[in-house]
Amino acid sequence: MIMIIISVMADKEAISKNFKKYLSSRGLRRTLQRDVIVREIIKSAKHLTADEIFERLRKKNPNIGYATVCRNLKLLYSAGIIDEIKIGNQKTRYELKSEDSHHDHLICVKCGKFIEVFSEKIEELQKEMARKERFIVLRHKLEIYGICKYCGEKGGERS
Amino acid sequence: MIMIIISVMADKEAISKNFKKYLSSRGLRRTLQRDVIVREIIKSAKHLTADEIFERLRKKNPNIGYATVCRNLKLLYSAGIIDEIKIGNQKTRYELKSEDSHHDHLICVKCGKFIEVFSEKIEELQKEMARKERFIVLRHKLEIYGICKYCGEKGGERS
DNA sequence: AACGCTAATGATAATCATTATCATTAAAAT
DNA sequence: ATTTTAATGATAATGATTATCATTAGCGTT
User: What are the chain A neighbours of B129 within 8 Å (beta carbons)?
Assistant: 104, 106, 117, 119, 122, 144
CATH of the domain at A129: 3.30.1490.190
Same domain, A40 and A80: yes
Residue nearest to nucleotide C29 (CA to C1'): B27
CA gap B39, B33 in Å, rounded: 10
Tell me the per-residue pLDDT of A116-154, one tens digit each, with 9 for 90 and over: 999 999 999 999 999 999 999 999 999 999 999 999 886
- Report residue B128's pLDDT band, with 50, 70 and 90 as the boundaries: very high
Residue B123: list chain A partners with CB under 8 A: none
Q: How many domains does chain B have?
A: 2
A80 and A133 part of one domain: no
CA–centroid distance for A97 within its chain: 6
- Comparing CA positions, the residue from A87, A126, A84 lying closest to residue A101 is A84
Would you say the C-alpha torsion A62, A66, A67, A69 has a positive or negative sign? positive
Estimate in Å the CA B63 to C1' D11 gap, whole number.
15
Cα separation values, A149 from A85, A101, A154, Å: 23, 24, 9
Instruction: Taking residues B1-25, report their average pLDDT.
Output: 77
Say yes or no: Cβ of A31 under 7 A from any atom of strand D: yes
* End position of a domain, from candidates A96, A122, A140: A96
| A159 alpha-carbon distance from chain centroid | 28
Same domain assignment for residues A57 and A84: yes
- A28-74 pLDDT, tens digit per residue, is 999 999 999 999 999 987 899 999 999 999 999 999 999 999 999 99
Write out the DSSP string of chain B: -HHHHHHHHHHHHHHHHHHHHHHHHTTPPP-HHHHHHHHHHHHSPSSEEHHHHHHHHHHH-TT--HHHHHHHHHHHHHTTSEEEE--TTSPPEEEE--TT---EEEEETTT--EEEE--HHHHHHHHHHHHHTT-EEEEEEEEEEEE-HHHHHT-----
The residue-averaged pLDDT of B122-136 equals: 96
Confidence of residue A8 (pLDDT cuts 50, 70, 90): low
Please indicate, yes or no, if residue B158 is contained in any of the structural domains: no
HSE at residue B36, side-chain half, CA atoms within 13 A, is 18
Q: Please tell me which of the candidates A126, A140, A152 has its beta carbon nearest to residue B136.
A: A152
Same domain, B88 and B114: no
* Contact status of A25 with chain B (Cβ, < 8 Å): no
Per-residue pLDDT of B88-107, as tens digits, reads 888 999 999 877 678 899 99
Amino acid at site A5: I
State whether B148 and A135 contact (CB < 8 Å): yes
pLDDT tier, B7 (very low <50, low <70, confident <90, very high otherwise):
low
Separation between the CA of B32 and the C1’ of C30 (whole angstroms): 23
Task: Assess if residue B59 is contained within a domain.
Answer: yes
| pLDDT confidence bin for B16, thresholds 50/70/90 | very high
- Over 90: is that where the pLDDT of B110 sits? no
pLDDT category at B158 given cuts 50, 70, 90 is: very low
Residue B155 has pLDDT above 60, yes or no: no
pLDDT band at A2 (very low <50, low <70, confident <90, very high): very low
Say whether both A85 and A29 belong to one domain: yes
Strand partners, B144: A140, B106
Tell me: do A92 and A116 sit in the same domain. no
Q: Are A68 and A20 found together in one domain?
A: yes
C-alpha–C-alpha distance, residues A96 and A39, integer Å: 11
CA distance A132 to chain B (A): 10
B10 in the same domain as B76: yes
Q: Give me the CATH number covering residue A28.
A: 1.10.10.10
- Chain B residues within 8 A of A152 when measuring between CB atoms: 134-136
Pair (B70, B119) in one structural domain: no
Looking at A49, A79, A96, the residue that finishes a domain is A96
Measured between CB atoms, does A129 come within 8 Å of chain B?
yes
Last residue of a domain, one of A48, A68, A96: A96
Q: Does residue B159 form part of some domain?
A: no
Residue B118: inside a domain: yes
Residue A31 lies in a domain: yes
Q: Are residues A60 and A33 in the same domain?
A: yes
The pLDDT tens digits of the residues spanning B46-76 come to 899 999 999 999 999 999 999 999 999 999 9
In a shared domain, residues A88 and A11 = yes
Share of chain B above pLDDT 90, in %: 73
* Nearest CB to B137; choose among A125, A139, A146: A146
A156: pLDDT strictly greater than 60: no
- Mean pLDDT on B110-124: 91
Residue A142 lies in a domain: yes
> Whole-angstrom Cα distance, residue B62 to residue B69?
13
Residue-wise pLDDT for A62-113, tens only, equals 999 999 999 999 999 999 999 999 988 889 999 998 766 788 999 998 888 8
pLDDT of residue A88: 83
Instruction: Mark whether B20 and B41 lie in a shared domain.
Output: yes
Which range of residues forms the domain containing residue B111?
104-153
